[in-house]
Amino acid sequence: MIPYALGFAFACFGAGLLLNLWRLARGPAMADRILALDTMVVNTIALIVLYGIATGTGINFEAAMLFAMTGFVGTVAFCKFQLRGSVIE
Amino acid sequence: MTDALDLLLAALLVIAGGFGLIGSYGLIRLREGMQRLHAPTKASTVGLGAALLVSMLHGLGTGTGFSWQELLVMIFIFVTAPISANYLSKLHLHLRRAELDLPETGTARDWATFDHQPEPAEPSLPRRDT
């Protein structure tokens, strides 16, 4: 049963990435685009984790952790730059 | 792999996919910028949490054992998602104040995020006289 559920989850997160890409291209305000990027990071981490389940290797954990960290720092840096005009003051 | 664990993992995977898709669909479905913060920051985080839970429990069935490492990613995501949401809402408030139609505070003060923050004084670095 798990392979079918895994396929469903893969399809859902992949479709989610496409929807985020739509918002990233269209988003009227800058915050919408940053939010779309942040959600893309979350969906990509989910895809990496699902790939790790599918292949049965534990090596994807480091990739997920790195992606989580850089995604968070990137979001905060984008917001900070928009708010204050510089990232590190 | 036992049937009960199999069923539990499959259900969790379906829940993860559903919440992830709802979060991303809400991002394009909701009308206004501030509303759009709701879907990805909550639904997508729950979806990712369910996927990580499946990844943790998956080793029990295949014989490699329970893995604690995914817990780190889960804690990190659950801690940082509200912070980035807070930054994004501040961005909305500061950049689009005129069109947002904010409610009154009821006091003489404005909303706290608009308080004037004085620039920190430049640190006086020692100068080298040439």
B30-45 pLDDT, tens digit each: 888 888 888 888 999 9
Mutate to test the interface with B, among A21, A47, A49, A66 (most CBs of B within 10 A): A49
Report helix, strand and coil shares of chain A as percent, to nearest 5: 85, 0, 15
Average confidence score pLDDT of chain B = 85
Mutate to test the interface with A, among B91, B96, B117, B119 (most CBs of A within 10 A): B91
Instruction: Determine the residue of chain B that is closest to A14 in CA distance.
Output: B21
Instruction: Determine the residue of chain A that is closest to B69 in CA distance.
Output: A61
Separation CA B52–CA A28 (nearest Å): 33
Question: Contact at 8 Å (CB) between B5 and B57?
Answer: yes
**Cβ within 8 Å, pair A79-B77:** no
pLDDT exceeds cutoff 70 at B46:
yes
Domain ranges (residues) in chain A:
2-84
Give me the pLDDT at residue B127, please: 76
pLDDT exceeds cutoff 90 at B111:
no
CA-based nearest residue to B20, from A40, A35, A83, A69: A40
**Cβ within 8 Å, pair A13-B64:** no
* pLDDT digit string, tens, across residues B64-75: 777 888 888 999
Distance from B22 to chain A by nearest Cα, in Å? Answer: 8
Give me the pLDDT at residue A5, please: 92
Question: What is the interface pTM, i.e. ipTM, of the complex?
Answer: 0.89
- Which letter, b or e, does each residue of A8-42 get, where b requires 16 or more Cβ atoms within 10 Å of its Cβ? bbbebbbbbbebbeebbeebebbbbbbbbbbbbbb
* pLDDT digit string, tens, across residues A22-32: 999 987 888 89
**Cβ within 8 Å, pair A52-B55:** yes
Domain A2-84 CATH class label: mainly alpha
pLDDT exceeds cutoff 90 at A14:
yes
B94 to chain A: which residues are within 8 Å by CB?
83
Name the pLDDT band for A12 (thresholds 50, 70, 90). Answer: very high
Distance from A67 to chain B by nearest Cα, in Å? Answer: 10
CA-based nearest residue to A60, from A68, A52, A50: A52
A-B contacts at Cβ under 8 angstroms? 162
CA-based nearest residue to B47, from B21, B10, B29, B65: B21
pLDDT exceeds cutoff 70 at B110:
yes
pLDDT exceeds cutoff 70 at B1:
no
* pLDDT digit string, tens, across residues A32-80: 999 999 999 999 999 999 999 898 877 888 899 999 999 999 999 999 8
Model's pTM, two decimal places? 0.86
Question: Contact at 8 Å (CB) between A20 and B24?
Answer: yes
* pLDDT digit string, tens, across residues B89-106: 988 888 887 777 778 888
Instruction: Determine the residue of chain B that is closest to A29 in CA distance.
Output: B33
Which amino acid is residue A28, in one-letter code?
A: P
Other beta carbons within 10 angstroms of residue B108's beta carbon come to 5
